[in-house]
Amino acid sequence: MTRLTRRAALAGGAATVALAACNPRASDTEPAADSAVAPAGFRDGVAIAAAIEAGETTALAEVEAAIARARAVEEAINGIVTETFELARSDASGVLSGPFAGVPSFIKDLIDWRGAPTLKGSRGLPKQLATADNPFAAKWRGAGIVSLGKSATPEAGLISSTEPLSNGPTRNPWDLSRIPGGSSGGAAALVAARVVAFAHASDGGGSIRIPASTCGVFGMKPSRDRLPYSEPGAIPPPLQISVNHAVTLSVRDSIALFRAAEALDGTYPALGEIQPLTRRLRIGFAPEPIGGTELHPDTRAALEDVAQLCRDLGHTVIDYTIPMDGPKFTDAFITYWAAGAADFARQVSEASGKPIGPDIVEPWTLGLANLAASRLTDLPGIVGYLLGFEEEYHSFFNDLDILLTPVTGSPAVPVGEQAPDGDFDAVMDSVLKFVAYTSPMNVAGAASMSVPLAWSPAGLPIGAMFSGRRGDDALMFELALELEAARPWADRKPPLSAL
C-alpha cells in the first residue's frame, strides 16, 4: 500500500456529567410483524407515534420532553450544532401526518432541512437557512418527523471522529473521554443518551455503523440507491458510496424509517413485511482487518462471543478470510475519499470567496486534498478499480449468506487522537487502524449493519458488523430482529443518560 503521509500529500502542492441547560448555538403503515424488544419505560419511535395517534400524548408534549432531555445532557456530550427548538414547537403544533407523526429527532448537519442552516462541520460555509429540504429530509418531513436541530458531524463527514474545529468535540455518553465515532457522531451520541429514539445518519465509508458501534445503538447501512441521497440536478460522482438512513435504539424503528424513506424508483421492490429470521444462515466469520492492522483484544473477544451467539442460534459459522487485496483496496479508497475532500475544499472556497487554506478548511481536510493532488494521475485507474470491486465483493458470497466482522479495530479511542488539527500522519495511522472494515460495503453498494451485542470489560460498546450483498436489506433486518430478541440491548443505558 502507498504510504499515506503528510510528505506524500504535500508533494502534490498546496491545494463529570453536567445536567444543566446548555447555551443555544448557531399514518399507520407499520406491519405488526415488525417486532421490537424494549424495557419498561423505554419507547421507540414507533411506540411514540402510536401513543400520539391514540391521544395518550401529543406531538408538542413529546417535543417538549425531548428538548428537556437534550438540555439535560448536551453540555456534556456536545452533540447538537444548531438548535431549532422554536421551529420544532411550531411544527409540532401544526397538522402532522405519516407513520412518525410528531416524533422528535435530529438531522445530521450534512443535508438541508428547511429553516435550518447546513454547516457541514465547517467554519468556512455561510450560516444561511435552507429554503428547501434535501430529498431524503423531505421523506422524513413527509413521515411526520419533527426535527429539533442539526446533529454534529466532522467537517464534510471526512473522518471517523466528530471533533470539528467549528463546534468542538462530541463526546461518547459511555465515557466522556472517548469519541462517539463519526461521521454521524452527534446523532449516535444523542440516541445513546436517550435524547431521541432515533436520528438521521449517513454512511460514506462507515459513518452510520462506526458511531452505532461505539455508542451501543443499532445502525443499518442500506444498499446503494434504496433511499434518496443526491440533491436534484447534482452531478453524480464516478462512484456513489454514500447513503442516508438512521441510527436507532430498536430494530423496528430502523425498518419503519427505511420504509418511510424508500426511493421506490423501480431499482428495488418495496421492503416487504419483516419477520425475525427463521432460516439458518452460513455466516463467514472474518475478524482480521483487511488492511493488515492489529485487532484490539477486547474487540476480538467480543466478536468471538457474537460468533458463538450465532452458533447457539443454529447458524453455521465458518472461519473465513476475506479474499481481497486489503492494502490495495485501502489505498484506492483513501485516495478516492481524498478527492472528495479536495472537491469540498473547492466548494468552501467558492462559497466563502476565500482561497483554499487553513482559515476556511481544517488541516485534515487540507491534508486529504493535497493527497488527492499528489495522486491526480492515478485517479482514473483507481476509479476503474473501485467500479469493478462490486463484482469481486459479491463473489465472497458464493458459499456464504452473511459476513460477520468487527465494525472497528478497537473500542472507541480517546478524544483528541483523531482531532482534525493533529499531525496528519498520526491521525491517518489512527484512522486506518480504527476504520478497518466498513468501506468495502460502501464501494460495493451492499447492505451492512452494526448490531450492539457486546461491551468491553471497561464498559465500552463493541458493535458486530453483519454484511450481505447489494439488495440484502430485508435479510439484514430479519437477522437483526432475531439478534435483538436473543440479546436485547435497549435496557443497557450509558452512564450519561437523559432517562
Please name every residue paired with 284 in a beta bridge, in sequence order, or none if there are none.
Answer: 318, 403
pLDDT at 17: 30
Q: How many CB atoms lie within 10 A of CB 433?
A: 18
Is the pLDDT at 385 greater than 60? The verdict is yes
Is the pLDDT at 27 greater than 60? The verdict is no
**Contact between residue 196 and residue 140 where contact means Cβ atoms under 8 Å apart:** no
183 catalytic residue (yes or no): yes
pLDDT at 230: 83
pLDDT at 235: 87
**Dist. CA 464–CA 446, nearest whole Å:** 16
pLDDT at 240: 97
pLDDT at 39: 44
Is the pLDDT at 1 greater than 50? The verdict is no
β-strand 461-467 against 282-285: which pairing, if any? unpaired
DSSP-derived secondary structure letter, 457: T
Catalytic residue among 105, 108, 147, 221: 108
**Dist. CA 202–CA 103, nearest whole Å:** 20
**Contact between residue 147 and residue 134 where contact means Cβ atoms under 8 Å apart:** no
**Dist. CA 358–CA 165, nearest whole Å:** 11
Query: In Å, how far are 5, 9, 342, 347 from 12, measured between CA atoms?
Result: 12, 6, 12, 19
* Of residues 61, 29, 63, the one with CA closest to residue 46: 29
pLDDT at 29: 36
pLDDT at 41: 63
Per-residue pLDDT reduced to its tens digit, 333-363 = 999 999 999 999 999 999 999 999 999 999 9
* Of residues 390, 103, 347, 349, the one with CA closest to residue 248: 103
**Contact between residue 473 and residue 243 where contact means Cβ atoms under 8 Å apart:** no
Write out the three cell numbers for 168.
468542538
Catalytic residue among 151, 166, 183, 430: 183
- Segment 283-311 mean pLDDT: 97
CA 202 to chain centre: 5
β-strand 243-248 against 198-203: which pairing, if any? antiparallel
- From 7-11, 380-384, 444-448, 463-467, the region with the lowest mean pLDDT: 7-11
Query: What is the 3-state secondary structure of 296-334?
Result: CHHHHHHHHHHHHHHHHCCCEEEECCCCCCHHHHHHHHH
Per-residue pLDDT reduced to its tens digit, 94-131 = 999 999 999 999 999 999 999 999 999 999 999 999 99
- pTM beyond 0.75: yes
Kindly indicate the confidence band of residue 42, based on its pLDDT and cuts at 50, 70 and 90: confident
Per-residue pLDDT reduced to its tens digit, 190-211 = 999 999 999 999 999 999 999 9
Chain position carrying cell 452494526: 450
Kindly indicate the confidence band of residue 35, based on its pLDDT and cuts at 50, 70 and 90: low
Is the pLDDT at 144 greater than 50? The verdict is yes
221 catalytic residue (yes or no): no
Helix (H) or strand (E) holding 245: strand 243-248
- The secondary structure of 459-477 as a DSSP string is S-EEEEEEE--TT-HHHHH
pLDDT at 215: 98
- From 15-19, 314-318, 414-418, 447-451, the region with the lowest mean pLDDT: 15-19
Q: Rg of the chain over CA atoms, in angstroms? A: 21
139 catalytic residue (yes or no): no
List strand residue ranges (DSSP E) for 58-115, in order. 80-83, 104-108
pLDDT at 15: 32
Please name every residue paired with 173 in a beta bridge, in sequence order, or none if there are none.
Answer: none
For each of the domains in the chain, give its residue range(s) and CATH number, in order of start: 6-15+19-486 (3.90.1300.10)
Catalytic residue among 105, 151, 184, 207: 207
Chain position carrying cell 459459522: 317
Is the pLDDT at 300 greater than 80? The verdict is yes
Q: How many CB atoms lie within 10 A of CB 280?
A: 12
